[in-house]
Chain A
Amino acid sequence: MNPPAGEVPRTYPDGKPLLEQPHWQQDFPTDVPEDDHVARREFVKFLVLTSGAFVAGQLWIAAASSLRKNGRLPRQQVSTVAELEARRVVEFRYPDEHEPCLAICLAPGRYVAYGQKCSHLACAVIPHLDKGELHCPCHNGFFELSDGRPIAGPPRRPLPLVTLEVQDGVVFATGFELRTI
Chain B
Amino acid sequence: MRPILTRRQKDTILAGIFCVVALLVVLQLWLLTATMNAFMGGDHTVVWPAAVASLGCLLVNLWLLRRLVYLQRAGT
Contact = CB atoms under 8 A, between A and B. Distances in A.
Interface size of A as a range = 20 to 34
Interface stretch (A14-22, A57-65, A98-106, A132-140): A57-65
A119 interface: yes
Interface residues of B, number: 41
Most buried by B among A52, A59, A62, A177: A62
Contacts, number: 100
B54 A55 contact: yes
Most buried by B among A45, A51, A178: A51
Given A44-B18, A48-B61, A180-B43, A55 B51 contact: yes
Contacts of B54: 54-55, 58
B37 A51 contact: no
A156 B44 CA distance: 17
B28 A54 contact: yes
Interface string A48-76: 10111011011101101100100000000
Interface string B1-31: 0000011101100100110011011001101
B16 to A, nearest CB: 11
A37 B69 CA distance: 10
Given A51-B28, A54-B32, A65-B39, A37 B10 contact: yes
Contacts of B6: 8
A57 B57 CA distance: 14
A157 B7 CA distance: 51
Interface string B32-72: 10011111111110011011001101100110110011001
A177 B8 CA distance: 58
A51 B57 contact: yes
Interface of B: 6-8, 10-11, 14, 17-18, 21-22, 24-25, 28-29, 31-32, 35-44, 47-48, 50-51, 54-55, 57-58, 61-62, 64-65, 68-69, 72
29 contacts: A33-B7, A33-B11, A37-B10, A37-B72, A41-B14, A41-B69, A44-B21, A44-B68, A47-B21, A48-B62, A51-B21, A51-B61, A54-B32, A55-B55, A55-B57, A55-B58, A57-B32, A58-B32, A58-B50, A58-B51, A61-B36, A61-B47, A61-B50, A68-B44, A119-B40, A178-B41, A180-B38, A180-B41, A181-B41
